[in-house]
């Protein structure tokens, strides 16, 4: 944990607004302790269209998740209406369960419980047997909204049968409530309380359509908790359809539900709350212990991009390509004058060292003569006015000659061109 005393300025780490820790802001927070963060990177990678992740790649990601401090991993095994489970999911789940990782794997299967409308086509008890055979220790039946009171009653009888059998086999179980934000609240609370009475160790709430705003999320979680007959840990699963995935996950956590996250927000559609954003925000802006080793986040993010084949968006928060790139006039001048790793951070409130990221500057078209002088000074060169103009023109001309993105010079290129231009200028002046 990097901010246990909830400090707004911590040397070498961050400098944020003190208002974040005002009583007016924090008095209603009710973060779980421990936080109860769960990770869905492995299953969500499977859902990410076009990802090229191999089984060995999944195992490398799993090891990295363990190394960074993940304690709970959610896995899926779905039949999708077929007679057998999806082969790719089955292979991945089997190999991860056999990997001996330190985190607990919670395995959801869509055939563990039906909707209550008749007899399920796939026997739920056979699904329990399959999960047991591949090494599952915790299973997760999902309760969808029933179509009638009769179906709900049948569904709950089926749930009781499944969990009684699972428990007799030595399995623990959680329960998943799908479409939590849009289903009938009273019926949802009935089945939630019944699941808890039957022994569910945790309730995983799912708002997969991003139906709750961050403000509504807090109200929803508080209302849900107030209606539970017996308190059990909660988690909340949201997506990023409105660009509010991180905000929604944090709002849920502030009201008492552990956030469900994935590295880089991997998932289908618009993605998922990114682990690196949620964990860093909670630690820095809220002073919450996430259990995550933040200094490994950049390396983990880079690994998942490599294993999935997805590009790292330049403007992505926390671990994106531009997150710690210094390119504007003032930023480059500060980098040249003070060094890139100075504190307070140049043009930001989070130091790159917090997440283990690199910091670099580039020479963009937004350059000044003061930048030229400082660059030259760093190279041990003192320039006169003519030389400053020559270097300034040479650097800008070089950028203008770059036909495509990225139209900038690296520090090595800018330094070499500066020295070359000065050498040439001085040779000419001596003739």
Report the pLDDT value the prediction gives residue 183, as an integer from 0 to 100.
96
Q: Which domains does the chain have, with CATH numbers?
A: 23-308 (3.20.20.70), 325-429 (no CATH)
Contact 105, 136 (CB under 8 A): yes
**Is pTM beyond 0.85 here?**
yes
Nearest to 362 by CA among 324, 311, 397, 392: 324
Contact 222, 258 (CB under 8 A): no
Write down the residue that tokens 């007959």 correspond to. 229
Average pLDDT over every residue of 170-178: 98
Instruction: Tell me phi and psi for residue 143, to 5 degrees.
Output: -100, 110
Average pLDDT over every residue of 346-353: 96
Q: What is the mean pLDDT of the chain?
A: 97
Does the pLDDT value for residue 176 go beyond 80? yes
- pLDDT tens across 261-291, in order? 999 999 999 999 999 999 999 999 999 999 9
Using DSSP's 3-state secondary structure scheme, residue 421 falls into helix
For 272-304, b/e burial (b = at least 16 CB within 10 A) is bbbbbbbbbbbbbbbbbbbbbbbebbbbbbbbb
Q: How confident is the model at residue 7 (pLDDT cuts 50, 70, 90)?
A: very high
- pLDDT tens across 216-268, in order? 999 999 999 999 999 999 999 999 999 999 999 999 999 999 999 999 999 99
Average pLDDT over every residue of 361-381: 96
Write down the residue that tokens 């919670």 correspond to. 106
Q: How confident is the model at residue 429 (pLDDT cuts 50, 70, 90)?
A: confident
Measure the CA–CA gap between 296 and 357, rounded to whole angstroms: 9
Contact 317, 271 (CB under 8 A): no
Report the pLDDT value the prediction gives residue 119, as an integer from 0 to 100.
86
Does the pLDDT value for residue 431 go beyond 80? no
Using DSSP's 3-state secondary structure scheme, residue 304 falls into helix
Q: How confident is the model at residue 430 (pLDDT cuts 50, 70, 90)?
A: confident
Report the pLDDT value the prediction gives residue 178, as an integer from 0 to 100.
95
Q: Cα 194 to chain center, whole Å?
A: 32
The DSSP secondary structure of 229-285, one letter per residue, reads SS---EEEEE--TTS-HHHHHHHHHHHT-EEEEBGGG-SSTT---BHHHHHHHHHHH
**The two three-digit tokens of residue 75, written as one number:** 């896995």
Using DSSP's 3-state secondary structure scheme, residue 77 falls into strand
**The two three-digit tokens of residue 427, written as one number:** 């040779």
Write down the residue that tokens 């179980």 correspond to. 173
Using DSSP's 3-state secondary structure scheme, residue 30 falls into coil
- pLDDT tens across 103-157, in order? 999 999 999 999 999 889 999 999 999 999 999 999 999 999 999 999 999 999 9
Nearest to 74 by CA among 84, 86, 65: 65
Does the pLDDT value for residue 428 go beyond 90? no
Measure the CA–CA gap between 322 and 314, rounded to whole angstroms: 5
Does the pLDDT value for residue 358 go beyond 80? yes
């Amino acid at each position: 944990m990097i901010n246990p005393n909830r400090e707004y300025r911590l040397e070498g780490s961050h400098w944020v607004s003190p208002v974040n820790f005002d009583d007016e802001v924090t008095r209603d927070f009710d973060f779980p302790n421990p936080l109860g963060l769960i990770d869905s990177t492995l299953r969500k990678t499977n859902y990410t269209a076009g990802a090229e992740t191999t089984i060995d790649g999944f195992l490398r990601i799993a090891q990295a998740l363990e190394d960074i401090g993940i304690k709970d991993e959610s896995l899926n095994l779905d039949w999708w209406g077929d007679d057998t489970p999806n082969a790719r999911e089955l292979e991945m789940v089997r190999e991860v369960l056999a990997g001996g990782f330190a985190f607990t794997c919670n395995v959801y299967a869509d055939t563990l419980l039906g909707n209550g409308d008749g007899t399920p086509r796939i026997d739920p008890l056979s699904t329990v047997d399959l999960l047991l055979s591949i090494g599952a220790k915790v299973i997760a039946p999902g309760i969808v909204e029933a179509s009638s009171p009769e179906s709900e009653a049948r569904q709950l009888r089926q749930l009781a049968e499944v969990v009684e059998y699972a428990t007799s086999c030595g399995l623990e179980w959680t329960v998943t409530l799908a479409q939590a934000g849009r289903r009938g609240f009273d019926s949802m609370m009935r089945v939630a309380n019944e699941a808890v009475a039957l022994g569910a160790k945790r309730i995983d709430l799912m708002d997969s359509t991003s139906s709750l705003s961050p403000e509504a999320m807090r109200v929803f979680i508080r209302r849900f908790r107030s209606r539970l007959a017996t308190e059990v840990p909660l988690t909340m699963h949201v997506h990023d359809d409105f660009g509010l995935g991180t905000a929604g996950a944090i709002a849920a956590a502030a009201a008492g539900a552990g956030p469900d996250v994935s590295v880089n927000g991997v998932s289908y559609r618009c993605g998922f709350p990114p682990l690196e954003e949620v964990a860093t925000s909670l630690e820095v802006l809220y002073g919450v212990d996430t259990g995550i080793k933040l200094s490994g986040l950049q390396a983990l993010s880079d690994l998942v991009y490599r294993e999935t084949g997805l590009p790292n968006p330049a403007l992505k928060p926390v671990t994106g390509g531009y997150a710690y790139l210094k390119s504007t006039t003032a930023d480059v001048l500060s980098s040249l004058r003070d060094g890139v790793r100075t504190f307070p951070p140049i043009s930001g409130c989070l130091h790159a060292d917090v997440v283990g990221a690199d910091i670099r500057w580039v020479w963009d078209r937004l350059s000044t003569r003061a930048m030229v002088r400082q660059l030259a000074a760093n190279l041990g060169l003192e320039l006169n006015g003519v030389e400053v103009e020559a270097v300034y023109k040479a650097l800008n001309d070089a950028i203008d000659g770059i036909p495509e993105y990225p139209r900038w010079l690296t520090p090595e290129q800018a330094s070499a061109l500066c020295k070359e231009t000065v050498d040439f200028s001085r040779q000419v002046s001596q003739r």
